[in-house]
Amino acid sequence: MANVFLHSSLLCVKRVDTHIIILPWILSEEIITQYDGMDHASADRTVSRIHQHYAWYGITAYVKIFVSFCSACQHAKHTRTAHSKYFDLEVGTVMDQVSIDVCGPFATTRDGNSVLLVAVDHFSP
């Protein structure tokens, strides 16, 4: 934890030639809006740009959710992709193909939970 320090009341992590700010989660949407708004390129590019200056727990998952709901990103994505990369999975039976992902963080519940584990059985219609 020697690389963590306070600078102007902000929690920071020292890097080789700079530092990044550990951002309170409540400010994350404003930062994502600013960086995504540069060009609505992709979630990965937005995360990469934000990581040059800021960090917070769950940043990648939160940016992906944000981008999935951004109409400008979705429009740009469809105009960039000449051919769809999606294809039909061949699924023979229940539990043959299962996708699992973690979404969040969301508002913390009284029990201290802030993320969702999502599992999809592709056999289901």
Which residues make up the interface to Zn ion (CB under 5 A)? 36, 40, 70, 72-73
The CB-of-59 to Zn ion minimum distance in angstroms stands at 16
User: Which is closer to Zn ion, CB of 48 or CB of 108?
Assistant: 48
Nearer to Zn ion, 23 or 73 (CB): 73
Q: State in angstroms the smallest separation of the CB of 66 from Zn ion.
A: 8
Looking at beta carbons only, is 65 or 91 nearer to Zn ion? 65
Measure the CA–CA gap between 6 and 69, rounded to whole angstroms.
34
User: Looking at beta carbons only, is 33 or 113 nearer to Zn ion?
Assistant: 33
CB of 30 to Zn ion, least distance (A): 14
Helix, strand, coil percent content, the chain, rounded in steps of 5: 35, 20, 45
- Phi, psi (rounded to 5 degrees) for 22: -80, 110
Tell which residue, 79, 63, 1, 4, has the closest CA to residue 28: 63
Quote the least distance from Cβ 39 to Zn ion, whole Å. Answer: 8
Query: Are 44 and 77 contacting, i.e. CB atoms less than 8 angstroms apart?
Result: no
